[in-house]
Amino acid sequence: MTDEVDVLVLGSGIAGLFFALHASSFGRVAVVTKKERPESNTNYAQGGIAAALAPDDSPELHARDTHNAGAGLCHGDAVTALVTEGPRRVRELIELGATFSGGADLSLGREGGHSRRRIVHAADLTGREVERALLDAVAAEPNIEIHENQMAVDLLIGDARVEEPRCVGAMVLAEDGSGLTEVRSRVVMMATGGSGQVYAHTTNPPIATGDGLAMAYRAGAKIANMEFIQFHPTALYPAGDRAFLISEAVRGEGAVLLKQDGTPFMDRYHPLGSLAPRDVVALAIDRELKQSGDDFVLLDCSPIAEQEIRRHFPNILAETSARGIDMLNEPIPVVPAAHYACGGILTDTHGRTSLPGLCAVGEVACTGVHGANRLASNSLLEALVFAARTAARIGPNLAAAPHRKGTPVRREIGFGGQCVDTSPQRAELRRLMWDLVGIVRTDGRLREASQSLSDLALRVRELTRDAELTPDLLELRNLIQAAAIIVISSQGRLESRGLNFNLDHPFRNNERFLRDTVISSR
Ligand code: FAD
Ligand code: SIN
């Protein structure tokens, strides 16, 4: 790993790669990624990318749906940028080599909360196609290097005696045991994705351990709206610790949620029925399960023609079939699972964070487009739009930005020889977050979670005092940090809005809480 680059990008999902492609015309870009290059949430995206491309659609309608889902907290300027620049970025992705269903006449799917068909997709493996196309494009770009199996540990901060705190690079740990490198960079782009692994049941792959969120928090950057964790209503039951997603696009094509006795229930909760926004559907399922005592509800796909299921959902058909479910002839058992962090490192509409030198884009960032609840398929679009905007902002000034010396935010992890197994602590964390900070919260459960997290953090600190510095251990610390951020943010919002439902404060309170929850370690 080189120790000096123009631009250091942390993460190789859609946000990091699209940004790298845009930034590469201005300087040398190094992309650091902690596993093999395609491994990311992006790679597992199913439904698609929302963009107002149909003749009966418009950016205004897309904006209206986004604001409706976001329950009053979306930032108007960010939403306008998303919906007006989105179609152009999707076309750019196609020019880069991504192939979507329908070819030149894009076939547009529908998902919850959307008033029009606007989901560009590659059958039900959209993310894999996007990741493939971006990695191919990056491979052809001589100004970009990708460093696999290298984990960013902490940010480097410039000399605070000389100037205000700024990010000047990152500490990177090689998985092959060759140790830590201090990588200095004119600008650092945080594109490390989400933190779904904080929860016992999640659709997110193992990489989603909140590393970027925790690093930025430790470095003093502002973090916003982390109480808004989106639970996807339809993960395949049993969800386990890596749930298989049954795309919302399946409901978009007509599938209906039923109780186990065969009764539909969503019409009692929302005029859009099974296609209501996700916060409504996940909460309704949670309620129905608590009332009935059942472990799952059913997704009846019989309204969709067999030919359509085979064409649009080949991966879901194959995965369910491998687990003994014949979705062509029987309903699929489903439950909610943690899916997406609507909050993150607070940015403006050009990827600027509150820490100079640090940009953020993708799921790790909070641009303000999602508000209190993300509209389905808006996150891949958000990554494209804000990655391009950030590169356009930093590019022209890049050469003038100097490399600076810096020190790591934290040096406390030991370099002792002991190898520590972190799986019991991970399981404990994920269970407590699921039980106490899930779809339905209360003040008491949040207090209990806060206490349990402090105890766990203390025990992990003791356990790791003389431990070997491993990615596993670093992830555990980041998971605990991310969980604490979610709890603190949830405790700060004494109302129910969007994805934050608290039984002790069951109504919206616009007077006090029509604003972001912003926290920082400074
Ligand atoms: P990611 O794609 O998660 O990439 C993060 C990258 O950072 C990875 O390469 C990871 O290895 C790397 N990384 C993490 N920590 C470190 C570290 N410490 N050091 C170095 N590298 C690190 N959204 C939609 O809009 N439409 C969909 O249809 C859709 N379907 C989804 C289906 C599933 C199953 C899931 C899980 C999510 C889905 N989403 C969807 C959400 C969407 O996929 C993500 O929000 C989006 O892909 C995030 O992109 P990203 O680039 O920000 O992060
Ligand atoms: C899905 O396919 O249901 C996921 C879409 C999303 O998370 O935006």
Ligand 2 centre distance from Cα of residue 248 (Å): 6
Q: CB of 336 closer than 6 A to ligand 2?
A: no
Q: CB of 248 closer than 6 A to ligand 2?
A: yes
Ligand 2 centre distance from Cα of residue 378 (Å): 9
Asked if 278 is an active-site residue, the reply is: yes
What per-residue confidence (pLDDT) applies to 412? 52
Cα 192 to Cα 154: distance, rounded to the nearest angstrom: 12
Q: What angle do CA 444, 445, 451 make, to 5 degrees?
A: 95
277 lies in the same domain as 379 = no
In this structure, the dihedral spanned by the alpha carbons of residues 67, 72, 78 and 80, taken in order and rounded to 10 degrees, is 40
Q: Which residues pair with 30 in a beta bridge?
A: 8, 145
Q: CB of 234 closer than 6 A to ligand 2?
A: no
- For residue 238, CA distances in Å to 242, 244, 313, 337, 428 come to 10, 9, 20, 10, 19
Q: CB of 367 closer than 6 A to ligand 1?
A: no
CA atoms within 13 A on the CB side of 394: 34
User: What number of other Cβ atoms are within 10 A of residue 436's Cβ?
Assistant: 21
What per-residue confidence (pLDDT) applies to 414? 56
281 lies in the same domain as 134 = no
120 lies in the same domain as 181 = yes
Residue nearest to atom 31 of ligand 1 (CA): 45
Q: What is the CATH number of the domain that holds 328?
A: 3.90.700.10
123 lies in the same domain as 16 = yes
Catalytic one of 278, 404, 477, 493: 278
Residue keyed to tokens 């039984």: 503
DSSP 139: H
Q: Which residues pair with 360 in a beta bridge?
A: 190
Nearest-atom number in ligand 1 for the CA of 474 is 18
Burial class (CB in 10 A: 0-12, 13-18, 19+), 139: exposed
DSSP 1: -
What per-residue confidence (pLDDT) applies to 409? 85
Residue 449 lies in a domain: no
Cα 33 to Cα 288: distance, rounded to the nearest angstrom: 41
Residue 395 lies in a domain: yes
Ligand 2 centre distance from Cα of residue 232 (Å): 8
Give 491-494 contacts, CB < 8 A, sequence gap 24+: 491/443, 491/446, 491/447, 491/450, 492/227, 492/517, 492/519, 493/227, 493/517
Residue keyed to tokens 């799952």: 296
Residue 324 lies in a domain: yes
What per-residue confidence (pLDDT) applies to 406? 86
* Tens-binned pLDDT, residue by residue, of the chain (522 aa): 789 999 999 999 999 999 999 999 999 999 999 999 999 999 999 999 999 999 999 999 999 999 999 999 999 999 999 999 999 999 999 999 999 999 999 999 999 999 999 999 999 999 999 999 999 999 999 999 999 999 999 999 998 777 889 999 999 999 887 889 999 999 999 999 999 999 999 999 999 999 999 999 999 999 999 999 999 999 999 988 789 999 999 999 999 999 999 999 999 999 999 999 899 999 999 999 999 999 999 999 999 999 999 999 999 999 999 999 999 999 999 999 999 999 999 999 999 999 999 999 999 999 999 999 999 999 999 999 999 999 999 999 998 888 888 888 876 555 566 778 899 999 999 999 999 999 999 999 999 999 999 999 999 988 877 788 889 999 999 999 999 999 999 999 999 999 999 999 999 999 999 999 999 998
Q: CB of 234 closer than 6 A to ligand 1?
A: no
305 lies in the same domain as 379 = no
45 lies in the same domain as 179 = yes
Cα 292 to Cα 275: distance, rounded to the nearest angstrom: 22
Residue 144: domain span:
4-189+202-213+345-359+370-408
Residue nearest to atom 8 of ligand 2 (CA): 377
72 lies in the same domain as 119 = yes
Question: Cβ distance 39 to 192 under 8 Å?
Answer: no
Question: Relative to the alpha carbon of 299, which ligand is closest?
Answer: 2
Mutate to test the pocket of ligand 2, among 44, 46, 250, 382 (most ligand atoms within 8 A of CB): 46
83 lies in the same domain as 208 = yes
Q: CB of 475 closer than 6 A to ligand 2?
A: no
Q: Which residues pair with 120 in a beta bridge?
A: 49, 108
27 lies in the same domain as 115 = yes
Q: What is the CATH number of the domain that holds 50?
A: 3.50.50.60
Q: Which residues pair with 119 in a beta bridge?
A: 50, 109
CA 522 to chain centre: 25
Cα 87 to Cα 106: distance, rounded to the nearest angstrom: 12
Ligand 2 centre distance from Cα of residue 377 (Å): 5
353 lies in the same domain as 289 = no
Cα 300 to Cα 206: distance, rounded to the nearest angstrom: 30
Q: CB of 478 closer than 6 A to ligand 2?
A: no
Number of domains in the chain: 2
Question: Cβ distance 480 to 429 under 8 Å?
Answer: yes
User: What number of other Cβ atoms are within 10 A of residue 177's Cβ?
Assistant: 8
Residue nearest to atom 33 of ligand 1 (CA): 45
DSSP 53-120: -STT--HHHHHHHHHHHHTT-S-HHHHHHHHHHHHHHHHHHHHTT---TTTTS--EE--TT-SS--EE
DSSP 312-330: H-HHHHHHHHHTT--TTTS
321 lies in the same domain as 397 = no
Residue 379 lies in a domain: yes
Question: Relative to the alpha carbon of 278, which ligand is closest?
Answer: 2
Q: What backbone phi and psi angles, to 5 degrees, belong to 339?
A: -135, -40
- For residue 456, CA distances in Å to 76, 210, 412, 432, 472 come to 40, 17, 17, 11, 16
Q: CB of 73 closer than 6 A to ligand 2?
A: no
Residue nearest to atom 36 of ligand 1 (CA): 204
Residue 122 lies in a domain: yes
Residue 481 lies in a domain: no
45 lies in the same domain as 66 = yes
Q: CB of 202 closer than 6 A to ligand 1?
A: no
Closest CA to 439 of 278, 299, 291, 298: 278
Cα 372 to Cα 377: distance, rounded to the nearest angstrom: 15
Tokens representing 138 are 């990056």
Residue 83 lies in a domain: yes
Residue 46 lies in a domain: yes
List, in order, residues 6 or more apart from 273 with CB less than 8 Å away: 256, 264, 266, 267
Question: Cβ distance 150 to 1 under 8 Å?
Answer: yes
What per-residue confidence (pLDDT) applies to 519? 98
Ligand 2 centre distance from Cα of residue 45 (Å): 7
Q: CB of 47 closer than 6 A to ligand 2?
A: yes
Closest CA to 154 of 214, 194, 208: 214
Nearest-atom number in ligand 2 for the CA of 339 is 7
Question: Cβ distance 351 to 360 under 8 Å?
Answer: yes
In this structure, the dihedral spanned by the alpha carbons of residues 278, 284, 285 and 290, taken in order and rounded to 10 degrees, is 150
User: What number of other Cβ atoms are within 10 A of residue 448's Cβ?
Assistant: 16
